[in-house]
């Protein structure tokens, strides 16, 4: 009965192990989130077909090879929109852009991602929002997602508020 027009859920990866690697939260949360998504979509289909259920995944230089399985998960739901997000860097070892993000000079990675998207059926390919590929250019705009979105983690905690209160 909400007036919301949709909901985006960050699955982050294609399975519990990848979810745990990317989020640091228990991999079992992935299965629960996926089950909840399926229930939400079933209820949406029953009550409000105009309500859009979207999913997002994080891509980095370690997991780009799993893009096909990520898209398989999204298609099996089926998600109305799929956001593929390049890894957002953090200022700690193992989390910097130089270590994890995908740049415009990573030709092999870019080709593998294009191929995984092209393998999808046309009806589903149109739902995929490809990742923004970083340029090795210091004038590139910074991401404002942390200031414009409310983020709730797999344990139901509002991470933005938690960070502001600490």
Q: What is the 3-state secondary structure (H, E, C) of the chain?
A: CCCCCEEEEEEECCCHHHHHHHHCCCCHHHHHHHHHHHHHHHHHHHHCCCCEEEEEEEECCCCHHHHHHHHHHHHHCCCCEEEEEECCCCCCCCCCHHHHCCECCCHHHHHHHHHHHHCCCHHHHCCEECCCCECCCCCCCCCCHHHHCCCECCCCCEHHHHHHHC
Q: Tens-of-pLDDT digits for all 166 residues of the chain?
A: 778 899 999 999 999 999 999 999 999 999 999 999 999 999 999 998 999 999 999 999 999 999 999 999 999 999 999 999 999 888 888 888 999 999 999 999 999 999 999 999 999 999 999 999 998 865 545 555 555 566 666 677 665 433 332 2
pLDDT at 40: 94
pLDDT at 166: 28
pLDDT at 66: 97
């Amino acid at each position: 009965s909400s007036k919301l027009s949709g909901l985006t859920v960050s699955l982050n990866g294609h399975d519990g192990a990848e979810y745990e690697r990317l989020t640091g939260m228990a991999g079992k949360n992935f299965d629960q989130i996926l089950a909840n998504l399926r229930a939400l979509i079933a209820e949406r289909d029953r009550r409000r077909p105009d309500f859009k259920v979207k999913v997002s995944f994080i891509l980095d230089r370690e997991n780009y090879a799993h893009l096909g399985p990520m898209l398989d998960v999204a298609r099996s739901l089926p998600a109305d929109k799929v956001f593929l997000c390049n890894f957002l860097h953090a200022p700690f070892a193992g989390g910097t852009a130089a270590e994890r993000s995908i740049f415009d000079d990573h030709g092999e990675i870019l080709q593998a991602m294009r191929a995984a998207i092209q393998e999808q059926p046309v009806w589903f390919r149109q739902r995929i929002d490809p990742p923004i590929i970083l340029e090795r250019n210091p004038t590139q705009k910074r991401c404002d997602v942390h200031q414009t979105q409310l983020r709730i983690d797999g344990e139901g905690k509002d991470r933005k508020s938690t960070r502001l209160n600490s």
